[in-house]
Structures are given as C-alpha cells and as structure tokens.
Structure 1
Amino acid sequence: MTQPELDITAAEFPQPETMQDLIHVLRRFGVNIAYWGEGEAKSEDQLLREIQEGESVFRETTAGELMRDVQGVGVDVFYYDPQTGSVYRLREDRQVFKDGRTRSRSHIPESLSEKRKPAETPLEAAERAVREELQIEGELNFRHLGQRLHTRPSVSYPGLNTRHNVDIFGTMISPQQYRSEGYTENRDGLTSYFVWEQFSQDSQKAV
C-alpha cells in the first residue's frame, strides 16, 4: 500500500488538548465517530488519552486527510520446554471491554504490541510491554528482528487512517517466568488474554 505523504510535522499540527479540541479536529476532517465505543472500536476518550500521553499524534497528508501516527513495538515471546524440546510462542487471543464487548486479536502478528511513549527507545518500550502486560519479573534479553511500516484504516478508531512504525523484537523467557495457563492484563477498561501455542520442535528456530 502506498504510504500517504505527510506535508506538515506533528509540531506544526496543533494536537488536541481537550475533548472539545478533539471533536473539532475530527469533524473538520469528516471523521464519523458515531460508532466509536461500539463493537471492536475504542472511544474518543481513549483516543484523547493516547494523544495527551504522546502515544498517538495527529498529522495531515498532502491529500488533506487526517492521519493518526503511532510509533510502536511488537514483541514475540517464546518459551523453550526442556522436557519435550518444544518451543511455544505466546499470542494475544482476545480483548474484552468492561461493557462485555469482545474483539479478536488473532490478526496481531506478534505476541505483544505496544505504543511507544515520548522519548522512549524501542528497546525500552519492548521491555515495558512484557513487564506491564505479562507482569513478568527478572532478567529479560531481547533481539531486534526488524522494522515494519504500514498505513491502514484503524480498527480501534473507524474512519481514521493510522500509520504504524513498528520495531519488532523477540525474547525467550525462563522457566521461572513461564505460566502454562497464559497471562491476563487489565488496563484502560480492557482485559487482554494471552495464550501459548506450539511454535517449533527446534529451539534454534526461535529467538
């Protein structure tokens, strides 16, 4: 997919500071928020929080379209079972909103995905993602596996195109950090469920 060219920097584009500012910008660019907060979509309150925390930034393309810009990381989490010789990969199975809505996360290519905070390096964001989302303590080693840049309509915010610049990492956790039942994270009105799947019989094929 062709990446829309950006004609102004984030610093030159005034970022919304209040809900009134956000609604004004969205209406100005014709973004319909009627169905936000329904189905798999997040709410305008959640988007405003992302902008205020610097995790999402608004930009404008040369075509005059509003673009949400996200700097993020993806982390593949592996576990090697010494008894069977099998390697398992963690995947995010689903998210459940506090009102009971559920959205599948099977389309997420890595185990974890996380937005980078301002002034945070990709490696710092990767480690934070593992520790916060999985509540894992102890030593972690990461391998940088590459970078992915793509632009697509947002599932979280329908009608708003989003450009993702993602650094990809991999990590192999220890037996002490491994939980066979998987992991659960509660944050911002969402409960995320992570489960294990067999990846390979050969640990050399993992990280």
Structure 2
Amino acid sequence: MNTSILIVDDQAMVRQGFGALLAAQPGLEVAGDAADGAAALEAVARLDPDVVLMDVRMPVMDGLEATRRMLEGRRERPRVLMLTTFDLDDYVYEALRAGASGFLLKDASAEELIQAVRVVAAGDALLAPSVTRRLIEDFASRRPGPPHGGPARRLPELTPRESEVLRLVARGLSNSEIATDLVLAEQTVKTHVSRILTKLDLRDRAQAVVLAYESGLVAPGG
C-alpha cells in the first residue's frame, strides 16, 4: 500500500519540486498540495493523507497552527513532517508540542527528504536527518530537569525496562542502537516502544521525547 503525501508550502516551486521528486519514488504518492495552513486543513479532511509536509511560515494560517488543529483528536494519521529554512529555533519546539513527528530543513538532499517521509510514515524514528541528536540536545537544554539536580524519575505507568527504553529514545537512539545498548533483540525494543506509546497515550516517538524531558525522566545533559 502506497504512502500518500500532502505538500503544504506557500511557494509553488517548492510544492512542484517536492511533488515531482516524491511522486517518482516507489511506494509514495502525492495526494495533493496546499499553499497555506487553512487550505491544508481542508485538504487533509478531503484527502486523508498519511504524511503532511508542512512549511512553518505561511500566510493566512501558519504551519504551527495548522498542525495543532490538524492533529487535535487524532492518534494515527496524518503524521506531520515540518519543513523549515531555519535550523534549531523556537519553531521546532512549538512544532513538537503541536504534535509534529519530524523536522526537515528545506536544503536537505533529495535522499534525506525521501527517507524522512518514509521514516515518519512508519513511525519508527523521530527524524531522518542527522540533525536528530543536535535537535534533542538543544531541546533538552531549554527544558527544566528534575528540581535541584535530583535524580531523574520513572513515570509510574512504565515498567523499569520501559523507562530505560524511553530514556534512550529521548537521547536520539534508534531501535537497533537501543537493542545493542540493552543487549536485546530489535523486535523486543519495538515492542517496548509500542507499549510505551500506548500506555502514555502518545502518537509517536517525537511526543515521547517531549514527555521524557518535560516529566524529568531524562535530565538535560544527563
């Protein structure tokens, strides 16, 4: 089954360029595009895409507000991949809170764009580009950790092993890296991640990272 994509950007050349690139990839199809956030909301209701490529700065309604409205009350689809010309800025953190599943700089390579769409569609990682760990570190440095430098705590809903897995997810490790670190089978790690998301009522790993830092499970720089 193909992954359907909606491209949202106020620049027609960006929409056309990304659209042509993605439509040429096996397993991907471009369902449509929109020039602003308000049009994106209408298009999502009509087309029900799997992934939305969402620009941040647009007229009428920006990408952050559109993402908030788009994902309110939804658990599975769509997954939003934010497009930005800015590297690590406050838009990124607002987008995380709005429910975005990933971030991609507009100057990313074609390969990075294609991989990012596939990764976000699968829900298997926070981000495809190598900016992942830098993003998480910067995000963590802005979030308060446990008070008075105290120990990171465990979320009561999680088992000790699940808390351990979530800490590693929050530090940007992939499932295979977590499996190596904890000496587990990768499928076992996938099962743990799935249970974590279900128990904490989270959409994906991006939301898990936010919760891990904001709850104090993981301390900035820890």
Task: Note whether the superposition's TM-score is higher than 0.5.
Answer: no
Whichever structure has more helix as a proportion of its residues is 2
TM-score, with normalisation over the residues of structure 1? 0.31
Higher relative contact order (CA 8 A, sep 6+): 1
TM-score, with normalisation over the residues of structure 2? 0.29
